[in-house]
Amino acid sequence: MKAIRLDGTALTRADVVAVARHGAAVELDTAQLKAVQHAADFIAEKVRCGEPIYGVTTGFGSNADKLLGAQRARDELPGGNPNPQSESLAEELQHNLIMTHAVCVGEPLPAEVVRAMLVIRINTLMRGHSGIRVTTLQALAAMLNRGIVPVVPAKGSVGASGDLAPLSHLAIVLIGGGEAFFEGKRMAGAEALRRAGLAPVKLSFKEGLALNNGTAQMLATSVLVLDELEYLLGVADLAAAMTLDAFAGRSGALRADVHALRPHPGQVAVARHVRELLAGSTLMDIPYHLVPRFRTWSAKAWTTPEDQALSFDIRWEWVPADYRRGREAFYRRVLPFRGGKKHQPQDAYCLRCMPQVHGAVRDAWLQACRVIDVELNSVTDNPLIFPENAGTRYVEEQVISAGHFHGMPLALVMSYVKAAIPVLASISERRLNKLVDPANNDGLPGFLTGNEDGTDSGFMIVQYTAAALVNDLATRAHPATVYSIPTSANAEDHVSMGANEARQVLAMMRDLGDVLALELYTAAQALDYRQRMLGAARRLAAAGGWQALATKMDNPPPVGDPQRPQFEREVAELARQLAEAKAFQPGAAVRAAREVLRAVVEFMHRDRALQHDIQETCRLVRERAYSV
């Protein structure tokens, strides 16, 4: 894989994913390294001149009013000098900053999150406004490229000043402390460096602050969230398309001219995507009267050897002439048979309003992408160094204390995404529920099983699992950003909690994927039933004509009844339309997705253990087996 070149201005989300999830290496732009070293030389000169600079010649946070002296005053105190290798208090300050701030707790962050943090931190330091030396930055890149993954416990950042504690866990390995994973094993940071052929780094002026002051944890996690959500948005559209085909739904609500009247970008994109997924479908918009309703199988249901293997029967209800009064225009256009499709021109909200709902979630994703793309190439540590202002009189114009470390831009868009996740999961569960509910599934069997003997539950409890997941997602959707807890003796009196927000959202991605997987699993069963029932109706009409089809009518007028001739003419017309109809098929993309699922999960004729089905169904989504 081609190495990702970092210059501080061109890093993309795809680049971060390539490094984090696919092991791409990084290389530092040679020209930009000159700007990096220029800033480091500038800050070193200011230190030599005795200028007071926050975090360089002063303490941190509420200790910012403490100016460092020229020599140590505490060597005789208990504990002595904890860092005798430091040549100055300014260097000791940077060392101590990393050592004391690495205080996170909890399980280690996933390796992909840590690798994403590393590439993001390196890129922002490449801008040349942080004061880090080229050699230190090269050592950080070497640590990433050699496969060292610092152990970063998940919890400990409040999202301002940046992700101090987790970034300190990154940096502590660089200086020979902490723990790291290397070649699949957890070990001391110094040992990981040794095995990778690297040496610990001795930090210089502002380097500790440059390494741990910034938004890298929340940003890294957010990038991975957006990568996951982008795929799951496609899966959601695919699941909805398969469900629409299974319902033999109506396409009008997807039309481009319809969405041009309310052109929210996500909504327009979803409608277009679902139209593409359904391209080639002969199930969408089929006439109401052609669709039979499920009837429980019986030994006398079918006569041909091919159809005797079916696990269902089909039926229609004929509408007598006296029930058509006032509706003559409708029945001149639609044959008077009630089967699986209700005579209504619109689908339920979970189908008809799907572009609006999926589209709103996609817009939340788009807004988050906009913010994250800006942040990826931003400088987020403090103070900011402007070597180009060296000719000005005051150091305050050259070294600026600002607030770029504050994570609120990221935190708020992650709150937006967090609220959107249960919305996408909820409408998916509603479609799944509609598929299994015999009162609302347009003529499919209840719980998508024949249940001839009353012993089968079919897909009943699949919906329970989806409901449980949706409830869990909804209860986790409370935004962390609304609850700021001040830190550093109120010197940092408003924080973003963005790291918590992003971490929680990433954890929610799996449950969202599982809900969508359950809809695909259920929709495939429903789609198979719909095609088989329509196929049986076509074969019956082609082979036996109206006489065979008449046996599937619930209320035929008896022979000799005045309405009998009209009934026979209308059944003959139904038989002709069925026999001449093209094979009923889902859209090409839907058909391909069903084949992916059916390669590992068979159609369920009768109850069986579903644990394997569920595991495989969820695995396919997790491993991105579907083309979306």
Q: Is 455 exposed, middle or buried (0-12, 13-18, 19+ CB in 10 A)?
A: exposed
DSSP assignments along 427-443, one per residue: HHHHHHHHHH-TTTSTT
Query: In whole angstroms, how large is the CA radius of gyration of the chain?
Result: 33
54, 231, 331, 416: the active-site residue: 54
Whether 411 contacts 218, CB under 8 Å: yes
The rounded distance, in Å, linking the Cα atoms of 68 and 72 is 9
Tell me which residue of 516, 360, 355 sits closest to 426, measured CA to CA: 516
Exposure class string for 104-135: b at 16+ Cβ within 10 A, else e: beeebbbbbbbbbbbbbbbbbbbbbbbbbbbe
488: left (phi over 0), alpha (psi -120 to 50) or beta: left
The rounded distance, in Å, linking the Cα atoms of 201 and 145 is 16
Q: What's the angle, vertex CA 202, arms to CA 198 and CA 203, rounded to 5?
A: 125
Whether 147 contacts 183, CB under 8 Å: yes
Structure token digits, residue 626: 């579907």
> How many secondary structure helices (H) and strands (E) does the chain include?
21, 13
Size (the chain), residues: 628
DSSP assignments along 256-315, one per residue: HHHHTTS--HHHHHHHHHHHHHTTT-SSTT--GGG-PEEE---TTS--SHHHHT-S-EEE
The rounded distance, in Å, linking the Cα atoms of 120 and 131 is 17
Element (H, E) at 243: helix 216-247
Please say if 54 is a catalytic residue.
yes
Q: Strand pairing of 4-6 and 26-28?
A: parallel
List, by residue number, the catalytic residues.
54
